[in-house]
C-alpha cells in the first residue's frame, strides 16, 4: 500500500471542503470497495476523508410521500428497514441478492452507487485499461470478456456496472442528492451513471469534490407486482451476469405502468423506457414479454465470451416480467 494521510470529517461542509481542490483525495465510507482497490494498487489516493461520522445515516419520509435514504445507511439497514420492505420490496430484494451479510453490514448507499467495475483487467495493473489509465487500451475488448457489457459499449471500454441495488434504484426512478463546492443539487438516477464513450474513466456525472448525501425514492414503490431476478455463476456471493428489475402496476391483466432495468449488461444500470412503453396499456402475456425481450437486445453486441448474455438477457426479461405479473413461468 502507498502512503496516504487521513482525516475524519465532522460535518458535511468540512468533508466537501476537504475533497474540493484535491483530485487525489477520496471519501471513505464502508471501505469495502475502496480499500480493496488501494490494496491492489488500482487507486492511490494521497488523502482519505472518513465520512462515517456524518449525520447521513437515517431513512426518513420526504414531503411528497417518498423515502430518503441517507448516504451512510448501510445496505443491510436499508434492506431490512420496515418502510423499504413494505413500500419498496424491489429495493430490499435487489440489495439482499448482492454480496454477503458481512459486506452488507459495512457497505453504504453512497459507496454502492460509486463502486467500481469488476472487470479483471481494471484490477490487473499490468494490463491495459482505459478506465484505470486513460489511453492505454482495453484488455477486455479482445481478451477474456465473459462478464462484460453487451449494450451501450464503446471501442474504449466494455465494462459493466456491478451493483444490484442500483438496478432497482433505476427502475424505481430514484434521485441522488449531492453537496459540492457549488452547493446542493439532485441528479435523476438515469443521469447519474455514464456510458463509457471515449471517457470510460468517468463512471458518473458527479463533479469534483461532490459528496452524495442521500438517495430519494418517489412515492410509487410498485410493492404489489415486482421482481428482482439475478442470474449468476453461483447461487450466492457472485456478481450478476444479467439481472432484471421489473415492476408493474396492473389493473387485472392490463399493465397500467411498467418499469424495467437490467444489470450486468452495460456500463450503467440499463433502464429501457422504450421497452416500458411497449408494455404500458397492454394485456400482460408471455408473447408481449418476448417481444419486449427481443426489443431490448435488438442493438446488443457480444464480444465472444460474453455473447451468450444476449440470449440470457432476452430470456431473463421474459421471466422477470412473468414473475412480476404473477403468471406461470414461461418454459
Ligand X SMILES: Cc1cc2nc3c(=O)[nH]c(=O)nc-3n(C[C@H](O)[C@H](O)[C@H](O)COP(=O)(O)OP(=O)(O)OC[C@H]3O[C@@H](n4cnc5c(N)ncnc54)[C@H](O)[C@@H]3O)c2cc1C
Binding residues for ligand SF4, rule: CB under 6 A, are: 117, 119, 121-122, 129-131, 138-140, 148, 157-159, 200
Least distance from ligand X to the Cβ atom of residue 61, Å: 21
The residue (of 104 and 225) whose beta carbon lies closer to ligand X is 104
> Across the strands, what pairs with 21?
none
Which does residue 225 bind out of ligand X, ligand SF4, none, counting CB within 5 to 8 angstroms by kind?
A: none
Question: Is residue 272 within 8 Å of residue 260, measured between CB atoms?
Answer: yes
Taking every pair of Cα atoms in the chain, the longest distance, rounded to a whole number of angstroms, is 61
Rounded distance between C-alpha atoms, residue 211 and residue 10, angstroms: 14
Least distance from ligand X to the Cβ atom of residue 157, Å: 18
Residues within the interface to ligand X (CB under 6 A) = 26-34, 36, 51, 71, 98-99, 103, 106-108, 110-112, 114-115, 162-165, 211-212, 239
The residue (of 121 and 289) whose beta carbon lies closer to ligand SF4 is 121
Which does residue 89 bind out of ligand SF4, ligand X, none, counting CB within 5 to 8 angstroms by kind?
A: none
Which does residue 209 bind out of ligand X, ligand SF4, none, counting CB within 5 to 8 angstroms by kind?
A: none
Question: Is residue 108 within 8 Å of residue 71, measured between CB atoms?
Answer: yes
Strand order in the sheet with 270-271: 226-231, 242-251, 254-263, 270-271
Which does residue 157 bind out of ligand SF4, ligand X, none, counting CB within 5 to 8 angstroms by kind?
A: ligand SF4
| 19-23 contact pairs (CB < 8 A, 24+) | 19/49, 19/208, 19/209, 19/210, 19/211, 20/180, 20/181, 20/208, 20/209, 21/181, 21/209, 22/46, 22/47, 23/208
Question: Is residue 300 within 8 Å of residue 311, measured between CB atoms?
Answer: no
Least distance from ligand SF4 to the Cβ atom of residue 138, Å: 3
Which does residue 92 bind out of ligand X, ligand SF4, none, counting CB within 5 to 8 angstroms by kind?
A: none
Amino acid at each position: 500500500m502507498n502512503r496516504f494521510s487521513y482525516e475524519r470529517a465532522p460535518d458535511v461542509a468540512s468533508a466537501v471542503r476537504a475533497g474540493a481542490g484535491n483530485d487525489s483525495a477520496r471519501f471513505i465510507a464502508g471501505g469495502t470497495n475502496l480499500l480493496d482497490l488501494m490494496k491492489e494498487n488500482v487507486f492511490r489516493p494521497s488523502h482519505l476523508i472518513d465520512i462515517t461520522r456524518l449525520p447521513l445515516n437515517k431513512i426518513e419520509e420526504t414531503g411528497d410521500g417518498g423515502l430518503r435514504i441517507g448516504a451512510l445507511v448501510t445496505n443491510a439497514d436499508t434492506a431490512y428497514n420496515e418502510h423499504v420492505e413494505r413500500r419498496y420490496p424491489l429495493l430490499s430484494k435487489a440489495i439482499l441478492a448482492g454480496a454477503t451479510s458481512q459486506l452488507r453490514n459495512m457497505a453504504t448507499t453512497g459507496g454502492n452507487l460509486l463502486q467500481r467495475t469488476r472487470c479483471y483487467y481494471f484490477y490487473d495493473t499490468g494490463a491495459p485499461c482505459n478506465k484505470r489509465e486513460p489511453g492505454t487500451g482495453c484488455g477486455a475488448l479482445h481478451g477474456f470478456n465473459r462478464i462484460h457489457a453487451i449494450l451501450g459499449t464503446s471501442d474504449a471500454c466494455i465494462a459493466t456496472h456491478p451493483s444490484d441495488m442500483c438496478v432497482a434504484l433505476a427502475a424505481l426512478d430514484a434521485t441522488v442528492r449531492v453537496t459540492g463546492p457549488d452547493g446542493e443539487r439532485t441528479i435523476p438516477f438515469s443521469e447519474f451513471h455514464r456510458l463509457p464513450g471515449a471517457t470510460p474513466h468517468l463512471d458518473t456525472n458527479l463533479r469534483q469534490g461532490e459528496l452524495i448525501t442521500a438517495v430519494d425514492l418517489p412515492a410509487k414503490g410498485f410493492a404489489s407486482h415486482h421482481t428482482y431476478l439475478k442470474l449468476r455463476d453461483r447461487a450466492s456471493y457472485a456478481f450478476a451476469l444479467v439481472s432484471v428489475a421489473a415492476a408493474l402496476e396492473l389493473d387485472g391483466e392490463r399493465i397500467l405502468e411498467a418499469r424495467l432495468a437490467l444489470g450486468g449488461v452495460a456500463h450503467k444500470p440499463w433502464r429501457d423506457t422504450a421497452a416500458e412503453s411497449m408494455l404500458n396499456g397492454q394485456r400482460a402475456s408471455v408473447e408481449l414479454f418476448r417481444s419486449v425481450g427481443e426489443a431490448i437486445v435488438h442493438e446488443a453486441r457480444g464480444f465472444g465470451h460474453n455473447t451468450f448474455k444476449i440470449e440470457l438477457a432476452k430470456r431473463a426479461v421474459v421471466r422477470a416480467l412473468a414473475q412480476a405479473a404473477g403468471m406461470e413461468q414461461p418454459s
